[in-house]
Amino acid sequence: MRRRVAGVALGIAVTFAGSVEADVPASEAYVLHCAGCHGRDGSGHADFVPSLQEVGALLRWPGGRAYLARVPGVAQAPVSDAQLAALLNWLLVEISRTPDFAPYSATEVGALRRDPLRDPAAARPRAGQPERAPDAQAGSGAGDAGASLRSGRARFSSR
């Protein structure tokens, strides 16, 4: 009987914990999953943690959009595809101040994160590569990513 009650309690706790995580605003998810290394302002730490403040520039380079979602710390983050897409979109608007980009979708992020980069430094788009117009792959439309992203009200969805 005790085991059954403990099992039910554990099941309820796990279900509740998942629903709380699903309702975390992207701004709070950044603090939970990214700020410990990159800092609250995304500035990183010289020599060992890259700044996220200009990461939006990667969207102008061939493979840059995929690179962002495949960096190991991103691809292996303990969040759903939808949560990760919301977090990346919020980061691009709030930390990197990236104008006019196509927001990541859960489907796009899910496909990209299945193949995390083994050597992000070697795979990073370089200044010597040809630049192109901002990447408009996937997402629900080009242009401003939305007021909910700027305000941090974008919420994770468990769908």
Domains of the chain: residue spans and CATH: 25-151 (1.10.760.10)
Cα–Cα dist 38/49, whole Å: 6
For the chain, how big is the Rg over CA atoms in Å?
Answer: 17
Q: How confident is the model at residue 105 (pLDDT cuts 50, 70, 90)?
A: very high
Q: Which residues sit opposite 45 in a β-bridge?
A: 49
Residue of 28 and 126 predicted with greater confidence: 28
**Which pair of structure tokens corresponds to residue 153?**
């009200």
- pLDDT tens track for 56-78: 999 988 899 999 999 999 999 99
pLDDT reported for residue 133: 45
Q: Tens of pLDDT along 18-50?
A: 433 557 898 898 888 888 888 899 898 888 888
